[in-house]
Structure 1
Amino acid sequence: MLQKVDELGYAWRQFCRELIDIYRLLVLFRVVDDLAEIAEATPDELQELKTLADLGPLEDHQRALSLLIKSEAEVAISAFPRLLVEMALVRLASLPAGRDVSALVRKLEELERRLASGGSALPATPVASPQPPPDRAVSDPPKKPEAPLPVETSEKGWAGLVDFVKSKRRPRIASILEQVSPLASGDGVLKVGLVQNSFVDGQLDGETRELLQELAAGYYGTPIKLETTYIEEGAAQTAPSLANQRKNEESDRQKRLRDDALNHPIVKTAIEIFEGEVSEVKPIDKGYV
């Protein structure tokens, strides 16, 4: 149809105005029985318009009319009027039914009323009445709990070594230390585990080992000998590297974030009303969980 309009040299703005006139009459046909005195059309044309008006509810015709009025104003100043008209007709063809929109609005209003009345729309779990405590025989006052023994912590931990190496502006060495698994340290020996033929395995050449030993000696305050041993990739969980620790912490955080979101009363209410499901949970703030 648009190709024929273009071939006839018809003005696109005038074409939009005629569409607007047609939808105006469709709207009027839904509220007025006889348009003979209003519309400049023959009886046959009026009958055809009435048939078109009966194909949809008043709300659909009104929304189509509003869309065409907006498009007509844009066509007047556009360098691509045909494209605008084509897109307007595509939007007209893909408009959802007015009844569906009304149902969605009603559900949103119902959600607002529920949240305003008490937050959660789900029935609250009945709370059992507290039972009176049983009578207790008089006894000596309880002893004060003993303080727990202090836990011995090492000031020269593995994370501290990595931070020390970073402060010396050795990012490549720090990255290697983050990827290996610390196995033992003490008596001048630093033992680490790594997966054979891994990227880190290829980075630990003789020069890198000497530099790492010098940095470790500066951190621990004593000469250090680096020892490496190969471990299975699955066994790395028994002595996780700093990189694996961060990865595990991030996975746990994502799980807690999803659980918190799915258990939120507003989310539960929305799922119940719209009969939907949660496909993805994205954190708003990195430090939220």
Structure 2
Amino acid sequence: MSYLVLARKYRPQTFADLVGQEHVTRTLTNAIALGRIAHGYLFTGTRGVGKTTVARIFAKSLNCEAAQGPTATPCGQCPSCKEIAASASPDVFEIDAASNTGVDDVRELRENVKYLPARGRYKVYIIDEVHMLSKSAFNALLKTLEEPPPHVVFIFATTEPHRIPETVLSRTQQYEFKMIGLAPIAAYLQKLMDAEGVAVPRDVLMLVARKAAGSVRDGLSYMDQVLSYGPDRPLAEIADVLGVVDRQALLDISAAVLKAEPVALLDVLQRMGAANWDVKDFLADLLEHFRNLVAVKVARQPELLIDAGQAELAALAAQVKDTALETLEHLFFLLADSEELVLRSGQPRLVLEMTLVRLAQGAKVTSLDNLVARIAEWKSGLEAGGPGPAARPFESRPLPPRPGEKPPVAPEAPAAKPAAEAGDPLADPAAALAAALLRQRPTLAKVLDGHAVKLAGERLTISLPKGYPHRSFELELEFVTGVARELFGPRVTVALEAVEGPGGANSVQDQMNARRAAQERTKTVQRETMNHPAVQWLKEIFPEAEISVKVKEPAETAEPE
């Protein structure tokens, strides 16, 4: 007798034999028990997750002769069950839509559905890869699908439900088949190996289950391949046969990246150079691996989020023990951002190698807590007069002292005080009045700046240019008089004098021009500061922060004589 592969030999024959898909089997068994059997079903999901298998089991449940009616537990021994299992039932039709795509095939189906079943209760049409039907074929099927004979059940299976017309989707019950987890596939493989009487190490089963990527049928095919090669061979050799990267290699890569050791990283890649691994699969494994590092760092029960054994979980935890979460997230997104570049490259392996080297450099990123602490330390040093991290943009700093020289000590500048506070306001009426106005009316103090103020007896004369300066004081004369009386006595009167000359008519326009020029300089400084590399670096580190630039007015300097 010829050899029967595991996928065919151990194909589930009842709902209880299925691996996963409990949400589908529970719904179908309840529908059978309640007699709510629909005329159309659509099974969707990736390959090898049980769509066609469930369709066959459902057909058995509808036509099992051991029960008085449809049953959720077909016997598997009656002629009807045996014929369906052998794909030889006259009442169950399995149609491959990929080779029967035309409207003529659908017309033939429409002619046959009106006849009663030959043996069972229902005629079941299982159409696999139904999305391959042409548009005209779908249109020809609509009427029959909407109002089929009571003895007909349609079961459609597809991996691409988005290609099926909405008119078909609305006429069927849709069941989404999920991908199977790593642990259930490994447990199922262990069960089958026990039935075969073959001892297979746990690590090999986990490797095969990981390669299956959620597909039980793929896992069984890979298991056949491993059994042919030898399940007792070293794990690295089995990984090479399957075209996958050993988990230890992923751990070595992440260890080199987290330690920022590009040389060790290249050594690992060199050892992997001769292996038969696919770049796309390897990149997906890397992304999952770095995601697992983040999960181990933040999760209280990482075993619920990661399909891995206890030894691998312990190795992951050891790697991230002294690594900041920000660094792990940064590495993951660096790798994710380079995925398209690697896959679209003509030399994907070389680009992937350089990407991993870049990751090793990216591991040197400073954590947010350390960065905040350093900024606080620099700020404290600056406030205390110590050295800062670097010269601020647009600020001049003295050169550092040479070795052996003591840094020059800047003399402390005496604090400037208004004349009115430093002594008798009568000694300098202009300064006293300007200081008082600065506290209460800064705009008037600005206008008064540089103009003559004379006090003669109880008369205070303020000389101002014609136009805006003189007019502004004229409007505030009562207020200015009150301030003058507080400073120089209650009987003081204020007289305004309009003057010409350099401080006259043209000075207002000059001041406005100077003000506009100052505003333009301020905008230029702000724009150049925001484009400075240091500021751009801060914006990358703190993307949510609002950064503003405040320009200090230059100190007035005495003009040379």
- TM-score under structure 1 normalisation? 0.37
**Structure with max Cα Rg:** 2
- Structure having greater relative contact order (Cα 8 Å, sep ≥ 6): 1
